Amino acid sequence: MRTATREALLEVARSMKPLSSVTIAPERTVGDGNLAYTYGRASWVNGRPPDAGATTYVRVV
């Protein structure tokens, strides 16, 4: 089963456009006991020049 899942992920990865100008910026980390998580922002450009597309901005946890 693991092999089928890996193959499916590889197929999706091959179908994606490359990303450029990737930025991941952590804003704060919260933790208590054995659990911690980080809030932040990320952005990337879909594709590479000269065929680069729109910039995507997201919040991350």
Per-residue pLDDT tens over the stretch 4-59: 799 999 999 899 888 889 999 999 999 999 999 999 999 999 888 887 889 999 99
Buried b (16+ CB within 10 A) or exposed e, 6-41: eeeeeeeeeeeeeeeeeeeeeeeeeeeeeeeeeeee
Record the pTM: 0.65
pLDDT at 1 exceeding the cut of 70: no
What is the band of 2 on the pLDDT scale with cuts at 50, 70, 90? low
User: What integer pLDDT is reported at residue 45 of this predicted model?
Assistant: 93
pLDDT at 61 exceeding the cut of 90: yes
